[in-house]
Amino acid sequence: MPGALSSFRICDFTGQLAGAGATKWLSSFGAEVIRIEDPVRQGRWDILRGVPPFVDERRGIEMGGGFNNHNTDKLGITLNLRTERGKELLTRLIEVSDVVSENFAKGVLERWGFGYDRLREIKPDIIYVSNCGFGHEGPYSDFKSWGPIAQAVSGLTFASGLPGEEPAGWGYSYMDHTGAYYMAMAILLALLHRQRTGEGQWVDLACTDAAVTLNGPALLDWTVNGRPLRREGSPHSNRNQWPAMAPHGIYPSQGDDDWVAIACRDQRDWQALADAIAADWCRDSRFADLPGRLAAQDALDTHLGAWTRERSKYATEAVLLEAGVPVAPVQKPEERIDLDSSTGDFSLWPTVRHTEMGDVRVDGQPAHFSKTDWQMERGAPCLGEYTDEVLTRVLGLEAEELVRLREEGVL
Amino acid sequence: MSALTGVRVIELANDPIAWAGKLLADMGADVILVEPPEGDRARGYGPFVDDEPGDDRSLYWWHYHTSKRSVTLDLDDPGDADRFRALLGTADVLLEAEPRHRLAALGFDYDDLTAIRADIVHVSVTPYGRNDPKSDRPFTDLTVMAAGGPVWSCGYDDHSLPPVRGPQQGYHTASHFAVLSTLTALLHRGVSGEGQFIDVSMHAACNVTTEAASYSWLVARQTVERQTGRHAAVNPSSETQQRCADGRHANTGVPPRTPDEFGRLLKWLRETGLEDELPEAVFLEMGAEWDGPFDLSRIGRDDAVTAIFGAGREAMKLIASRLPAQDFFVGCQRAGLAAGAVNAPEEAFEDEHFKARGIQVEVEHEDLGRTVRYPGAPYRMTGSPWRILRRAPRLGEHNDEVLGGL
């Protein structure tokens, strides 16, 4: 079945999550993503190739579980760009590609002789999307970054935390995921622009720029009201200022490190919660209306936390769902992946076949298309797994040429 | 010309998709926000201009609805339903987060829409997808993120403290997938001429935005545990957040891993005059003079390698504790090592780098006689620039120009 993006070919240098996550969206909708890796360093620029989790006791560059997760259905080839012949083959590949994508440090592609000006010479309507922590222009453009640094510098780490404590930040690279989403959006936007105008372009994507925009209301509170988020008692990100809600938080439950999230959106939710709990404190006059509950939120949280602590998170969920109040257990990976049927029913964890690892479950896409839905079948490519196939089919090379190129260290 | 010039999007005003609509509108789509006659509830969310609530004073509203136009329609009213039908006839995309049976009951679900506009792209965003009864449950950004995985991974080493939600990012994540879906479907329509229905699940969107939390379970049935200011992990990892001399924090990032990096760290340690305070400095010297690359798998098993890498981390922490966070960040980066200051959002916004990249854009609020600085482009598209076309609309501000022309 042809996919939504089957007519597009991506000449892809991305890696890690911030880049590879972007072209994973494209490959899952049928784009031909040709992932180019360095045979000399055995693709180790992408550190995820060889790091845990592992499916079994085997180790090495074909066994990284994260690498497999982010590179499904891509065609991995090797090209040694230190050689003239390697550069020539890359040039020919760019000639027949729609997009060149990369998330190297600034200047790497340029040093190889494939900066945007050269890319345009090779193919005038090429779309070039670069993605790095601080972008290709600006005072910090030479600085190094990865998810936690992008989150720290942009304000996201600070915004996540409890009062009186240091920043909690993000327990994963939220901005590698999200930077990848913006990179994929940029590629799709540029393709749409080209579809309508025939023009290519360069997109200078900086994960940190995208991250700064994700704190919008706090920024307008700063620019309009002069109120910083760095102030006494702030932030308290388990609460909700905008819109104001109380109670709103994450409360302890019975069980091993078990927690439950509860939010009362309005007076009706509060009344329903109070009726369901039916304790004396629910009738405390301080809690009668929203301004009162906001002012006495610490006391309210103490009472509610004492109630949730007496039961399991799923028991609390059952009681409050019955009352029509927003509630959800803080789910652990096993709970949301294998025990909560919702994700499986949504076909969220497809099994792909990796040449070395065998069958492995991966993250699917959280959207289903009625006519051209995504598909994931093959795991991440082993190093150079599709070199012969791509160079033969796409560039028309003969078998004996491939042998020679391999002998010369080009592949 | 912007990338989406000429693409008309009908957005049924609703919190979870407000960000998606803005991303499309700021790229040039003609996003028409359909609100009930009394207005979308988010018009009443704080913060407010000068802290005074009132019509068109919600900064939340201002932020999420730039570049859009507003019309008011009561979809339960037959006359307005006819106008809505006519409006859909001009639409390329319907973007909505309605309760899952509502549009069918009104006669505006995808199958009805194709009779009005055969090639429409209909993007639905619900908590668990259109086919899951759990989508009928009440929800907020907090409950979506708690059930969907991000919350489990975030918080503190001290597990007596609750895990932490990064504010409003559940709706943002759902919106990111709504935008990716919209753009993908439009590209397909450009090639094939056909539209389609797209079912986005907020729960699923969060589930696939947790990095190793999901794939450690999927691949190896391992569970990550939250840690302060750094990745949740199956096995505890070293601290990476340090309180600096000015009380702010820094992320000490990736400690040195190559002889060259150890050499540069040692040089910086000397420049800051702190070498004497770090007994382990001798191991930095060993690291700098190490012959060839390190075998990282020997950390913890080989005394010399373990000491060298431990000294790298200690040196970073020591310098961070003695400098203001910004000086540590810039100094570390100038030494070629990845690190970051933990900025508050407003500090990032005022930072020289982000300003140079154009993160501050001015938007005219002619009705209040003031110009307001907004966050700028998430991506720098050189051929089809992002821009805020206009301030967020007043309620029904475009009724005449949009509905009058149908």
What pLDDT score was predicted for residue A1? 63
User: How many residues in total does chain A contain?
Assistant: 411
What pLDDT score was predicted for residue B299? 83
Q: How far is B300 from chain A (nearest CA, A)?
A: 16
Residue B379 has pLDDT above 90, yes or no: yes
pLDDT tens for A225-254 read 999 999 999 999 999 999 999 999 999 999
A69 CB neighbours in chain B (<8 A) are 215, 218-219
Q: Count the Cβ atoms, other than its own, within 10 Å of residue B268.
A: 20
SS (H, E, C) B166-211: CCCHHHHHHHHHHHHHHHHHHHHHHHHCCCEEEEEEHHHHHHCCCC
Residue with tokens 């075998």: B295
What is the phi/psi pair of residue B331, to 5°? -60, -45
Residue B134 has pLDDT above 80, yes or no: yes
What integer is the mean pLDDT of B128-134?
98
Q: B235 and chain A: CB distance < 8 Å anywhere?
A: no
Hey, are the CB atoms on B354 and A230 less than 8 Å from each other? no
pLDDT tens for B152-177 read 999 999 999 999 999 889 999 999 99
Q: How far is A286 from chain B (nearest CA, A)?
A: 22
CATH homologous superfamily of A259-329 equals: formyl-coa transferase, domain 3 (3.30.1540.10)
- Band of residue B223 on the pLDDT scale cut at 50, 70, 90: very high
What pLDDT score was predicted for residue A278? 97
- Band of residue B405 on the pLDDT scale cut at 50, 70, 90: confident
Domain with CATH 3.40.50.10540 in chain B: 8-209+357-403
Q: A298 and chain B: CB distance < 8 Å anywhere?
A: no
* Sign of the CA dihedral running A212, A214, A217, A218: negative
Average pLDDT, chain B: 96
pTM (predicted TM-score) = 0.98
Contact A220, B62 (CB under 8 A): yes
- The H or E element containing residue B12 is strand B8-12
What integer is the mean pLDDT of B8-30?
98
- The H or E element containing residue A32 is strand A32-37
What integer is the mean pLDDT of B110-125?
98
Share of chain B above pLDDT 70, in %: 100
CATH level 3 topology of B8-209+357-403: Rossmann fold (3.40.50)
CB-nearest partner of B224 from A205, A209, A333: A333
Which residues, numbered 357 to 376 in chain A, qualify as contacts with chain B under a Cβ-Cβ cut-off of 8 Å? 360-372
Residues 6 or more apart whose Cβ sits within 8 Å of residue B191: A7, A195
Taking 70 as the pLDDT cut, the residues of chain A under it are 1
- The H or E element containing residue B225 is strand B225-227
Would the ipTM clear 0.95, i.e. be above it? yes
Lowest-pLDDT range of A17-26, B307-316, B347-356: B307-316
- Band of residue B297 on the pLDDT scale cut at 50, 70, 90: confident
Domain ranges of chain A: 9-212+344-407, 259-329
CA–CA separation, B171 vs B141, rounded Å?
6
Residue B406 has pLDDT above 90, yes or no: no
Q: What is the DSSP string of A80-149?
A: -TTSHHHHHHHHHHHHT-SEEEE-PSTTHHHHTT--HHHHHHH-TT-EEEEEETT-SSSTTTT----HHH
Taking the domain A9-212+344-407, which CATH number applies?
3.40.50.10540
Q: Count the Cβ atoms, other than its own, within 10 Å of residue A296.
A: 17
What integer is the mean pLDDT of B102-130?
98
Q: A30 and chain B: CB distance < 8 Å anywhere?
A: no
pLDDT tens for B38-71 read 999 999 999 999 999 999 999 999 999 999 999 9
Residue of chain B whose Cα is closest to the Cα of A337: B214
